Amino acid sequence: MINETGLIFLGPPGAGKGTQAKYLAEFLEIPHISTGDILREAIGAQTILGKQVQEYVDRGDLVPDRLILDLIEDRLDRQDAQKGWILDGFPRNVKQAKFLDELLAKLNQHYMVYVVNLEVPEEVLMKRLLETRRRKDDNRETISHRLQVHKQETEPVIEFYRQHHKLYSVDGNRSPAEVTQSLKEIITAA
Ligand code: ADP
pLDDT digits (tens, 9 = 90+) for 65-109: 999 999 999 999 999 999 999 999 999 999 999 999 999 999 999
Say whether pLDDT at 29 is over 70: yes
Asked if residue 92 belongs to a domain, the reply is: yes
Q: How far does the centroid of ligand 1 lie from the alpha carbon of residue 181, in Å? A: 26
Ligand 1 atom with least separation from CA of 129: 2
Number of domains in the chain: 1
Please report, for the domain that includes residue 97, its CATH number. Answer: 3.40.50.300
Asked if residue 100 belongs to a domain, the reply is: yes
Q: How far does the centroid of ligand 1 lie from the alpha carbon of residue 96, in Å? A: 13
> Residue 20's pLDDT band (boundaries 50, 70, 90)?
very high
Asked if residue 166 belongs to a domain, the reply is: yes
42 CB contacts (<8 Å, ≥6 apart)? 49, 50, 53
Average pLDDT in the chain:
94
- pTM summary value: 0.94
* Domain span holding position 152: 5-34+85-183
- Whose alpha carbon is nearest atom 1 of ligand 1? 13
Cα 108 to Cα 32, 89, 100, distances in angstroms: 19, 22, 12
The 10 Å Cβ neighbour count of residue 54 is 17
**In this predicted structure, what is the pLDDT of residue 190?**
62
Asked if residue 138 belongs to a domain, the reply is: yes
Q: What type of residue is 75?
A: R
**In this predicted structure, what is the pLDDT of residue 136?**
77
